[in-house]
Amino acid sequence: MDQKQKSTVKMNVMNPGNRLGHTQSKAPEREQWANKLEFILAVAGHIIGLGNVWRFPYLCYKNGGGVFFIPYVLFLFTCGIPLFFLETSLGQYTSQGGITCWRKICPLFEGLGYGSQVVVLYTGMYYIIILAWAFLYLFSSFRAELPWLIYKRLYKLCNRRRILGLSDGIDNIGNIRWDLALCLLLAWVLCYFCIWNGVKTTGKVVYFTATFPFVMLVVLLVRGLTLPGAKDGIMFYLYPDPSRLTDPEVWMDAGSQIFYSYGVCTGVLTSLGSYNKYNNNCYRDCVYLCLLNSLTSFVAGFAIFSVLGFMAKEQGLDISMVAESGPGLAFIAYPRAVALMPLPQLWAIFFFIMVIFLGLDSEFVYQEALVTTISDMYPSFFQNNCHRKLLLLGINVGSFLVGLVMVTEGGLYIFQLFDYYACSGMTLLLFAILQSVCIGWVYGGDRQYDNIKDMIGYRPWPFMKYCWQYFTPAICTCTFLFSLIKYTPLKFNNTYEYPWWGYAIGGLFTLSSTLMVPLWILYKLLKAEKQFLKFHC
């Protein structure tokens, strides 16, 4: 077997890192963002979502108030920003989506791309259910009297029975809630037309969808700060408790929040970055976007807890009795709070419009990333824009049909399975470890820095490279192991235990994405061995 044949076999497993865009055959010309602002707004719309409003403030007060920023900032600078920059720069350098970028950089780790796209597919299926709830609440806000004002203390029960029609378990799915199903259809139609013509459409839509939530957030913030009891709510949000830093769960929460809110390890940032001009300064963009994301989370806490402080004062309750996280904050606690204000319909409308736009941005960017990734795998076929639109339509229709199961009377149980297992934090941590090792050591941190210098004209601060090689994989590994040790099976509302087959479905959700990586590595190694034996013999 001569040297040329040996290098051919090696190339099938790992790309040696030549300038990709100039050494390979020319692909069909790729669309690009019309300008930098479109890219900035698209990424901002994706990462600044519902988690900034309903998860970060709750975690902050739960984990020691102001001291929570210590582990949060540590994870931000050692994991969040480095991974964010890594994925965006990969997309910009290769001009490829979440799978084919790994095929060009390091084919051995192409399974990372497949696994991340499975996560994106699952996320798109269940995340849009939140928009269906928000639309139903928005339409209810136009009534002469708000439903949650009528039921007052029975509102939690009302929410589950009226809005969700909740059954007594996952084994009793019940009927489809057709009002929710129509709201779900509306959400999918909006999502489709936001991205139906690729980045030409997306780039224009984000001018409104990415900026309007900020306007609503400022309006709600100003209103909240003028309410009686707002100061108590903010103190509750930020009052420091240094003793909480000794609790490992606080650090776990900080790390998980970074992964959830920065959209890393899903390939979405890679797809969005792939539409950049080659010489765009993605390093500067990424740092500014990450800081904007964290600042938005911080400010959102003031908007939320000022209103919760008002609600607690009006009802004579401790703030801990009204503070909730996740959908409970958006669809139970906050609506009850605005119902106590003057002009409650107005503030409810403002709030749910903000929720819809925050969710819609994230949702259609997930779909854009998925379509981009598949299109890049078959560029000749999807160069025809009609084929791309049909692909998007097929994904949306299929996801809508799956989503119908989650708007049944037992749909919330299935929604929680998707949230807990299909988009598992442990899966994202595993992907973070692998892609850091891949770029930092297998492909080479210095080689990636050379690629970045070729794009932006200078080498970024070396700290990023050291994070890829040392800090990010080490911290993510510790967090991953801690997650395994602290793992507890999902309980709906902390009381309902799923049947064994419910947990089995959840396990299949997780394995369907994580197993993509080792299976692909095994496939490539066996293929390389087969080629070696063929040439050797």
Residue 376: both structure tokens together: 């890049």
H or E segment to which residue 363 belongs: helix 344-377
Closest CA to 355 of 217, 232, 474, 464: 217
b/e burial code for range 308-331 (CB count within 10 A of at least 16 → b): bbbbbbeeeeebeebbbbebbbbb
Task: Consult the annotation and say whether 362 binds a ligand.
Answer: yes
Task: Consult the annotation and say whether 309 binds a ligand.
Answer: no
Task: Consult the annotation and say whether 224 binds a ligand.
Answer: no
Q: Positive or negative CA dihedral for 357, 362, 363, 368?
A: positive
Q: Which long-range contacts (CB under 8 A, 24 or more apart) does 66-69 make?
A: 66/238, 66/239, 66/240, 67/240, 67/241, 67/242, 67/244, 67/245, 68/244, 68/250, 68/253, 68/254
Q: Positive or negative CA dihedral for 117, 123, 128, 134?
A: negative
Longest CA pairwise span in the chain (Å): 84
Instruction: Please list, in sequence order, all residues whose beta carbon lies within 8 angstroms of the beta carbon of residue 249, skipping any fewer than 6 positions away.
Output: 63, 486
d(CA 445, CA 441): 6
Phi-psi region of 174 (alpha: psi -120 to 50; beta: other; left: phi over 0): left
**34: helix, strand or coil:** coil
d(CA 347, CA 370): 35
By residue count, the chain amounts to 537
d(CA 149, CA 344): 9
**Phi first, then psi: what are they for 497, rounded to 5°?**
-95, 130
**Tokens 């949306």 found at:** 396
**408: helix, strand or coil:** strand
Task: Consult the annotation and say whether 361 binds a ligand.
Answer: yes
How many Cβ atoms sit within 10 Å of the Cβ of residue 533?
11
Task: Consult the annotation and say whether 261 binds a ligand.
Answer: yes
Annotated binding site: 45, 52, 261, 293, 358, 361-362
Annotated binding site for Na(+): 45, 52, 261, 293, 358, 361-362
